[in-house]
Amino acid sequence: MVESKRAVALATVDSRLACREAWLASGFAVEFSLKALIIKRERLNAWPSKDARPDLYIHDLRGLFGAAGVDLKAAPKGLRGSLRAVLDWNRAHEYTSGRMSRANARSMVKAAFDEDGVIAWLASL
Amino acid sequence: MASEPVIDMERRLKAGREYHTALRRLGFDPDALLWAGVGGSDADGAMELLIVTTWADNIGPKAIYDLLFEAYDASATPKEIDPFIVSLFSPQSRVAIDLAAAVYTVRKEVHRADFTPMLVLGMMDYVTIPEWIISYRQPKSTRFDDARRFRAFQTNVEKLAA
């Protein structure tokens, strides 16, 4: 799922018309990475039902970092700017129609997908 | 948003003003800087320092956040304001558009000492009041100006770390 979002992000990030899709896909990829980390750390064999774990049915990345047991303040120094940038993501932005600049979208893609970005770091935990 | 003890808010406002001064000294002059409660009326009192800047559109937030952390590490900005509670917004964002409308409305209203308007910004995520708005101006900047000013900010921050 992360890889399909990466493909969407890379395909749309340089488009004036569609760069918001890159921004959204990057945030979803971070959300999926965090949920994968929760599964790993809690030794679950599947994503729990909403009845069993309503606390995990959120799209707020700050909340998911907490649920995954990741202390943002303990993150590597060089990663903090990227971490802070991805925290700006909110699924609700999918429903807004305002213009987004390509620099803004590129910034989110870089923060999420760079070799030293948030997704690679989450995969290393 | 839970009610804020007055003394805590006074301390936050002082730190926010110092943060604004520190950023300007380093070459970053935001279009708006304000405190806001997070998550509307149901949240637990968490607050963020919101910054509206055309740099979000012309430079991109990550590079700005990187420098805010560097400036913080170098003690060039107040220690009370960890950049994890600072949020950058484009003037095109819902939050900034709502803020501009709120400021316009508040400035047009006759001041009433017994009434503090509650301003809701961006899909019910943030709540503020006029007293928490530390600075505000109509954003007007070109990509060229922003690139030049951002480079100066970057140089100043990197000098601190050297």
Mean pLDDT, residues A85-113: 86
Q: Closest to A107 (Cβ–Cβ): which among B60, B73, B83?
A: B60
Interface contact A104-B61, CB threshold 8 A:
yes
% of chain A surpassing 90 pLDDT: 80
Cα–Cα distance measured from residue A48 to residue A88, given in angstroms and rounded to the nearest whole number? 26
Alpha helix positions (H), chain B = 6-26, 55-58, 61-73, 94-108, 143-161
Q: Closest to B59 (Cβ–Cβ): which among A72, A82, A103?
A: A103
**Structure confidence at residue A99 (pLDDT):** 77
Task: Output the pTM of the full model.
Answer: 0.91
Mean pLDDT, residues A56-73: 91
Judge whether A111 is closer than 8 Å to chain B, CB to CB. Answer: yes
Residue A75 has pLDDT above 90, yes or no: yes
Residue A95 has pLDDT above 70, yes or no: no
Cα–Cα distance measured from residue B85 to residue A101, given in angstroms and rounded to the nearest whole number? 23
Interface contact B62-A80, CB threshold 8 A:
no
**Structure confidence at residue A94 (pLDDT):** 57
Query: Which residues of chain A are within 8 Å of residue B84 when distances are taken between CB atoms?
Result: 72-73, 80, 83-84, 87
Give the count of beta carbons closer than 10 Å to the beta carbon of residue A1. Answer: 12
> With the C-alpha atoms ordered B97, B50, B46, A23, is the resulting torsion angle positive or negative?
positive
Those residues with Cβ within 8 angstroms of residue B161's Cβ, 6 or more apart along the chain or in another chain: B70, B73, B74
Task: Identify the DSSP state of B154.
Answer: H
Mean pLDDT, residues A6-19: 96
Residues facing B50 on adjacent strands:
B34, B87
Interface contact B61-A107, CB threshold 8 A:
yes
Which of helix, strand or coil describes residue B107?
helix
Query: Which residues of chain A are within 8 Å of residue B69 when distances are taken between CB atoms?
Result: 77, 80-81, 84
Could you tell me what percentage of chain B is helix, strand and coil, using 3-state DSSP and rounding each to the nearest 5? 50, 15, 35
- A109 to chain B: closest CA residue: B62
Q: Closest to A111 (Cβ–Cβ): which among B62, B68, B97?
A: B62
Judge whether A108 is closer than 8 Å to chain B, CB to CB. Answer: yes
Shortest CA gap B48–chain A (Å): 12
Alpha helix positions (H), A13-70 = 19-41, 61-67
Give, in degrees to the nearest 5, the angle at Cα A73 between B131 and A33: 105
Q: What are phi and psi of B2, to 5 degrees?
A: -70, 155
Cα–Cα distance measured from residue A88 to residue B64, given in angstroms and rounded to the nearest whole number? 13
The answer to whether A2 and A33 have CB atoms below 8 angstroms apart is: yes
The answer to whether B40 and B124 have CB atoms below 8 angstroms apart is: yes
Angstrom distances, CA of residue A58 to CA of A120, B5, B42, B49, B93: 22, 30, 16, 24, 22
Shortest CA gap A78–chain B (Å): 8
Enumerate long-range contacts of B17-22, CB under 8 Å, 24 or more apart.
Answer: B17/B134, B18/B77, B18/B78, B19/B49, B19/B77, B19/B78, B19/B81, B20/B134, B20/B135, B22/B71, B22/B76, B22/B77, B22/B78
Q: Which two tokens stand for residue B82?
A: 């960890």
Q: Closest to B90 (Cβ–Cβ): which among A83, A84, A104?
A: A104
**Structure confidence at residue B142 (pLDDT):** 83
Q: Closest to A81 (Cβ–Cβ): which among B65, B92, B123?
A: B65
Residues 76-105 of A with CB under 8 A from B: 77, 80-85, 87-88, 90, 92, 96, 98-101, 103-104
- pLDDT band of A124, cuts 50, 70, 90: very high
pLDDT tens digits in sequence order for chain B, 162 residues long: 555 566 799 999 999 999 999 999 999 999 999 999 987 555 566 899 999 999 999 999 999 999 999 999 999 999 999 999 999 999 988 889 999 988 887 777 655 555 667 777 776 578 999 999 999 998 887 888 999 999 999 999 999 977
Query: Which residues of chain A are within 8 Å of residue B59 when distances are taken between CB atoms?
Result: 103, 107
**Structure confidence at residue B5 (pLDDT):** 64
